[in-house]
Structure 1
Amino acid sequence: MPTASALTQEISAIFRPDPAKPMENKFTNTTPVSGYCAQLPRECEIAGMFSIRMPITFDSSKAIEANHSDYRQGATFKVPSDWRPVTVINSGTGESEVVEIRVSGIGSQYRLSVSPVELVGGGSVYGAHEKLWGSAWVYAPAPCRYSGVGLYSTYQYAFFWKAPQQAACSKQAKYRVPDMRYTYLDFAYELRTPNPLKMSAGHYTGTLSYSVGPGQDFDMGDVMLPNDSVISLNFNLEVQHTLKVEVPPGGNKVVLEPQGGWQAWLNQGRKPTRLFRDQTFHISASSRFKMGLQCQFAGSSDNTCLLWAPSSGQLVPVNISVTLPNGLTDAAGQPVNRRRLYLDGSGTELFQPGHYIDRRPGTVHFEVARNQVEEMLAGEAKNYMGNVTVIWDSEV
């Protein structure tokens, strides 16, 4: 009798942004390939499949009778070709996401204890394998599909079939088969992973179990019985994000001036209407982030940073805003153009990339508005100063 036990298989994938492929925002499957796709990688690459070989054997519990009318009394394969959801949880943040998986192919090797030449009464080895079942096992019974794989020897035949539907694919024995064994289980699978750009960095894990046996997820009929009853897939997804901001040399010293500099006022007496400076930066981002401010001088009512005149103690607010490059939007999907930055973080709680942004230019805008400029010019103070920290924060 088969024993009830479980086999475990790791399914791993990683997202790491690639500057060479900024539009390719998806996980890379890093699970070691075994079985069918290890032997024929190009076939699987074209189909977007990956395969695993599991050390499960199936043994016939009785003879398979010739021309049996019930497909479950012969060689039949039904696999979980439907998409199944798997919840994966970030071990650091507790956030959850959903991965989907489907089994898209099935393969094994049958082994007979009696030569098929003897079972069918003569002929070549290949001809006997073909005659025993009406057709060689390289040819998949509907609704399974041909994959081009079939390797045989005197007592054995290895095969692999594509499985587009969750329905039985069956071979009818044309001669009595005293006993038979499937020596391993190959299955191909496809993954649908969440959008990594909307996931927090970290390690995500989850588990999906498939049952094996008559009437179960992997169902090989009522005669071929497995030595393991459960296949557990342990999912491990790694998200490695980039959030990098580069300010050009000297960009941390911001000098606010009127349009065209101070010469118009000094030479012509024309008062400036505003003081400003646009400071460029370069940003690389594969993850959502928020922005905020920290100030050396701040007032309780302005919700922004203040500049201080040492000689008079006068304080004036400075308006700070940000323009982000195309491809970065706010939570509503809107572009970010001169978006005000406030001390309480309102309005800049979430920015997100539509694709990997690699060293694209943005601008931080500093401005003292007209009313405050008039106050400054009316006073005696000549210099105003203050430290302002603009924050890009990936902990959203």
Structure 2
Amino acid sequence: MRRLLNRRRVETMIRGKTGSRSFWFLILSLMAEAAVSATMDIRAVFRPDPSKPLQNKFVNETPLSGHCEMQPAFCKDRELFSLLIPIGFRSVAPFEAGNADQRRGPMFRVPGEWQRLSVKHSETLEKADLEVRIVSIGGRYILPDTAENLVGTGEPTSVQGWHTRLWGDWTWQPPQPCQYTGGMYTLPASRTFFWLTSGSSVCAAKANYPIPSVTYDRMQIGYELRTPNPLEMSSGNYFGSWTYDIGPGMDFDMGDIMQPDDSTLTLSFDLDVQHTLKVDLPAGGNKVSLEPEGGWQRWIESGRKPNKLYRDQLFYLSASSRFKVMMLCNSTGGTRCKLYSPTGNTTEVETYLTLPPGIIRSGESGSPTQVKLYPLRHNTWTSVFQPDIYVNRKAGSLRFEMPRDSIDFLLRPGMRDTFSGNITIIWDSDV
């Protein structure tokens, strides 16, 4: 299911003082049939985890089927995912005993190299790269008769023994270089298999006895993913797909005897990015009073004019996505916001942003820098701030400070007045 772009805006109010004929129908029907492709949906989600702020990666939420559903611990240790695929294979000729050509016997080759594809944001069309590779193949082979009847008399005389005699070295262990995974079962006329493959190498076996026909069903694949960095992606859903060809000499190649009932397999990907952008103010943090360092009393007692009138207002930031910030106030432009008094006097204040460690911006040289006392401008978005880790409720601050000329105006002899104004800070992950 597609989600709308998750755009979060956090606003802080600050108040301060001082898409004819049966012949033609036949052609259309054939064209439509040729276009049919088996499609499997794969979905991975990124949600920031406050308990694991350094583990910023997608979680594959595709329901497991096949081997990994039955053997979850085995697959979890290898970051392996299995899928039953709606494709079967049937032999078009018998397997001859001791076949010299591996292509005329039971052979398996999968597309085991990493394939890179682009996924595209459903709203912004922003792109990211995803990689996938197939690392295992499995299914069930079905014989035209029991293995016992195909091999005749001899030892061993057990269900597993008859299958072993039929295929020789292909017992519970797969033909090299495929690797055993366990969890298989054998019946008189069938047996399951699921093997780890080795890149795009061929795993091939020989039949010790003639086998008139074979069917593969309940086919399954195992795959691995390399997902993009979610911290560099926008909130929302990214979609993409990769299509494999199936058949002799194709991506999935089961030799010349076993023919597929579908010619392609498409993996359809949905990467769902669910970012967090949240700003929390302490109680009363929406009202700010500007004072000299150390308070007014210290200045009164010393009889000297203070060098600064300011206030650092703490806030707590949770962010897993890029974001930008804008300041709105009563201003003629630039960095200054106006404060007014009941008597008609006006003074100005500037606002500076400091962000917690883990959030960076591009500096003048292009290198990433920490965000400390970054001046905000009226009705102007800042440059984009980028978390390099998930920041969970870490402290930052807004400094509201009067420029020197405003201090001089305010603290001139005979001035007695109160000034106030509103400043709105907007945080937006829609970048």
**Length-normalised TM-score, structure 2:** 0.87
Matching residue's letter, 2:206: Q
Aligned sequence identity (%): 43
CA-to-aligned-CA distance 1:289-348 (integer Å, 9 cap, x gap):
0111101x2124x433222344243333x22111111111113432111111122546x3
- Partner-residue secondary structure (3-state), 2:411: helix
Q: Deviations over 1:340-360 (max 9, x none)?
A: 1122546x3111112211111
1:355 pairs, out of 389, 404, 408, with: 389
What is aligned with 2:224? 190
Moved over 6 A (4+): none
SS of the equivalent of 1:118 reads helix
Q: Pick the aligned partner of 2:332 from 288, 293, 299.
A: 299
- Aligned equivalent of 1:378: 412
Q: How far is the alpha carbon of 1:377 from its aligned partner?
A: 1.4
**Equivalent pair of 2:338/2:347 in contact (CA under 8 Å):** yes
> CA separation of 1:218/1:386 partners in 2, compared to 1, >3 Å: closer, same or farther?
same
Secondary structure class of the residue paired with 2:397: strand
Which amino acid is the alignment partner of residue 345 of structure 2?
Answer: G
Asked if 2 retains the 8 angstrom alpha-carbon contact of 1:309 and 1:381, the reply is no
CA distance in 1, matches of 2:327, 2:171: 68
In the alignment, the residues of structure 2 paired with residue 59 and residue 95 of structure 1 have an alpha-carbon distance, to the nearest angstrom, of 43
Partner of 1:387: 422
Indicate which of 243, 256, 263 corresponds to 2:277: 243
Aligned residue in 2 for 1:81: 112
Structure 2 distance, partners of 1:389, 1:281, is 14
1:15-69: per-residue Cα shift (whole Å, max 9, x none)? 1111122221111111111011111111100110010011321111001111111
Query: Match of 1:384, as an amino acid?
Result: F
Whether 2:145 is the aligned partner of 1:114: answer: yes
> 1:381 deviation in Å?
5.2
- Give the corresponding residue for 1:308: 340
Alignment partner, residue 336 of structure 1: 371
Mapped partners of 1:351, 1:304: distance in 2: 22
> Take 1:73 and 1:363, find their aligned partners in 2: how far apart are those partners?
72
Identify which range, 385-394 or 118-127, moves more after superposition.
118-127
Matched, 1:325 2:356: yes
SS of residue in 2 equivalent to 1:187? strand
The question of whether the paired residues in 1 share the 8 Å contact of 2:290 and 2:400 is answered with: yes
Task: Give CA-to-partner distance per residue, 1:344-390, whole Å, 9 cap, x none.
Answer: 546x3111112211111111111113333112212735222221111
| Distance in 2 between residues matched to 1:315 and 1:254, nearest whole Å | 16
Aligned equivalents of 1:345 and 1:139: distance in 2? 66
Per-residue CA distance 1:135-159 (angstroms, 9 max, x = gap)? 2342122221121243111111111
2:61 is equivalent to residue 30 of structure 1? yes
**1:273–1:369 Cα contact (<8 Å) kept:** no
The alignment's TM-score, normalised by the length of structure 1, stands at 0.94
Map Cα deviations across residues 211-253 of structure 1 (whole Å, 9 max, x no partner): 1111111110000001111111111121111101011111111
Equivalent residues of 1:57, 1:184 under 8 A apart: yes
2:72 alignment partner, one of 38, 41, 49: 41
SS in 1 for 2:73: helix
Aligned to 1:368: 402
Partner residue in 1 for 2:85 = 54
Give the corresponding residue for 2:6: none
Aligned with 1:101 (options 119, 132, 156): 132
Residue 253 of structure 2 aligns to a residue whose secondary structure is coil
Instruction: State the Cα distance separating 1:261 from its structure 2 match.
Output: 1.2
> Secondary structure at the residue paired with 2:286?
coil
Gaps of 5+ in 1: none
Q: Distance in 2 between matches of 1:267 and 1:278?
A: 23
Question: Secondary structure, in 3 states, of the residue corresponding to 1:216?
Answer: coil
Q: Distance between the aligned counterparts of 2:336 and 2:299, measured in 1?
A: 28
CA deviation string 1:94-147 (max 9, x = no partner): 111121111111011111112222222224222221122212342122221121
1:118-133 to structure 2, matched below 5 A, reads: 118-122=149-153, 123=155, 124=157, 125-133=159-167
CA distance in structure 1 between the aligned counterparts of 2:336 and 2:123, rounded to whole angstroms = 33
Is the contact between residue 144 and residue 165 of structure 1 (CA under 8 Å) also seen in structure 2? no
Q: State whether residues 109 and 156 of structure 1, in contact with CA within 8 Å, keep that contact through their aligned partners in structure 2.
A: yes
Paired residues of 1:15 and 1:27 also in contact (CA < 8 A) = yes
Quote the residue 2:18 is aligned against: none
CA distance in 1, matches of 2:352, 2:198: 53
2:170 is equivalent to residue 139 of structure 1: no
